[in-house]
Amino acid sequence: MKILFLSLLLLTACAKRNPGQSETPAGDAVTIVGKAQVWVTTGNQSKLLQQLDDLDLTTGAPAQQKLISIDVAKPLQEIEGFGAALTGSSAYVIHQLKEPQRSRLLQELFDPQQGIGISYLRLTMGASDFSLTDFTYDDMPAGQTDPNLTHFSIAQDKQHVLPVLQAIKAISPGLKIMSTPWSPPAWMKDNGQLAGGRLKPEWYNAYAAYFVKYLQAFQQEGIVIHAVTPQNEPLHEAKYPSMHMDAGAQATFIRDHLGPAFKKYNIHTGIIIYDHNWDAPQYPISILNDTAARQYVTGAAFHAYAGQVSAMTQVHARHPDKGLYFTEISGGAWAPQFSDNLEWNMSNVFIGTMNNWSRTALLWNLALDNNYGPRNGGCQDCRGVVTIAADGSITRNVEYYALGHMARFIRPGAVRLTITGSNTAGLESVAFLNKDGARVLVVLNSGGNAQTFTVADKDRQYNCSLEGNAVATIVWK
């Protein structure tokens, strides 16, 4: 029994010594100089963002395992935050919760001390495929137009989105927000519908004014929007609110209309281009090649429904002065295995996007009901970060834990650090330096067996053994 107990100890998710490692020879001057804290989630769900025993941070011992070396002197991109989309559907299901349950859930989602510390949200400007109904902020009867936007109103968002958003801001005042339209008002489009079609050139100025009015209206409600994208998934026309906007049209809209409108009204909200899949990096590159348009552009945003995460580095290589943002991916009933989803999300969305220069990693719906809704067309079985059932019970999905491994520990203003050995022997990792001096390392072991490795930070190091099919977040100063 004693032997079995010791064996189990050695196979815990992070251990202080390699099970096969001998004691340090007496002649080596090993000094414990601190502790590293560890949180682990395993694919078999035996540990879910579980804090384990601290690791010894030592000096004086040579590395005896696979080495991950962190260089604090070589910072890379600044991180703006991690989170998801507060769609109309997400706001609705959260708003339906009775107090104090609603407040407890928001505290858990947005407070880094009491929860997972979400620090960035994406909003839909008007309806998306996850709204209660089709709408924009200036809908008109068929055949009528509103060139001066006299009928502009955010009343629809005051029902659920703004009350939930204001409650979130009370918990997390520094929260950053990005807003994205799925469609302009139908009267601005060549097909006269919210679904599909294109923005008519004669309404480019009016649509730029529409953005200005939206930002001003939210400002009046105490909500600052940090960035907008001109169009969600501009290469995808669907049967729900959507619009085709090729790269040339987007460049023209930004260069000649949206950018100048922001300048005229002294609006400092960032403009982030593209906002679509990894499979078309030439789209943002072509806009950034336009010297007149790029002056108004903060960066480019990506989704993960097609292509490879390395496309983000392709854009960075061509335009390293512009930010990159990962803004959407959804889990769903088509991928029910916790372990597979944990590995894919960590490898591609969280570790992958960060190692390819992203400043954010955002998932799709923050919350949905247990029927994958409410839906407004589009995905029939998408999964929220959390699921809220009709009886008010809450399920924390795999996305919750993957997101928590980043958002809780890597705070806005952190910088990614240069590391070596980050993809050694099945281990994928990314490291950060928070503004308070804390180092954060996120490690995925995608193999079936435990992996033991040493992490070196200048003359300090610690040893960690990570279970197979598991992710660890390690924090030290």
Which residues, other chains included, contact 27 with Cβ-Cβ below 8 Å and sequence gap of 6+?
Answer: none
Which whole-number Å values give the CA distances from 379 to 17, 140, 242, in the listed order? 47, 27, 14
Per-residue model confidence as pLDDT tens digits over 254-275: 999 999 999 999 999 999 999 9
Which residue is listed with tokens 């400007």? 125
Mean local confidence (pLDDT), 227-232? 98
User: Residue 423 — pLDDT band, cuts 50, 70, 90?
Assistant: confident
Residue 464 forms beta bridges with which residues? 453
Q: What is the pLDDT of residue 28?
A: 61
Residue 431 forms beta bridges with which residues? 417, 441
Q: What is the pLDDT of residue 371?
A: 98
Lowest-confidence segment of 19-33, 332-346, 382-396, 452-466 by average pLDDT: 19-33
DSSP state of 221: T
CA distance 205 to 211: 10
Does the pLDDT at position 12 exceed 50? no
- Comparing CA positions, the residue from 310, 303, 300 lying closest to residue 327 is 303
CA angle 284, 289, 293 (to 5 degrees): 85
CA angle 325, 245, 295 (to 5 degrees): 55
Mean local confidence (pLDDT), 438-447? 97
CA angle 37, 43, 47 (to 5 degrees): 40
CA distance 297 to 317: 17
- Comparing CA positions, the residue from 441, 444, 408 lying closest to residue 72 is 441
Average pLDDT along the chain? 94
Does the pLDDT at position 308 exceed 60? yes
Does the pLDDT at position 189 exceed 80? yes
Does the pLDDT at position 141 exceed 90? yes
328 is an active site residue: yes
237 is an active site residue: no
Q: Is residue 110 a contact partner of residue 120, using CB atoms and an 8 Å limit? A: no
For helices 161-171 and 88-95, give the axis angle rounded to 10 degrees: 70
User: Residue 2 — pLDDT band, cuts 50, 70, 90?
Assistant: very low
Q: What is the pLDDT of residue 467?
A: 97
DSSP strand E in 278-322: where?
299-303
| pLDDT over 90, % of the chain | 91
CA distance 38 to 14: 7
Q: Is residue 293 a contact partner of residue 251, using CB atoms and an 8 Å limit? A: yes
CA angle 476, 72, 57 (to 5 degrees): 30
The first and second tokens of residue 7, run together, are 């064996």
CA distance 230 to 228: 6
CA angle 117, 346, 225 (to 5 degrees): 45
Q: pTM (2 decimals)?
A: 0.94
Residue of 23, 80, 202, 233 with catalytic role:
233
CA distance 35 to 128: 47
Domains of the chain are: 35-76+417-476 (2.60.40.1180), 80-412 (3.20.20.80)
Does the pLDDT at position 6 exceed 50? no
Residue of 328, 399, 428, 467 with catalytic role:
328
Q: What is the pLDDT of residue 40?
A: 98
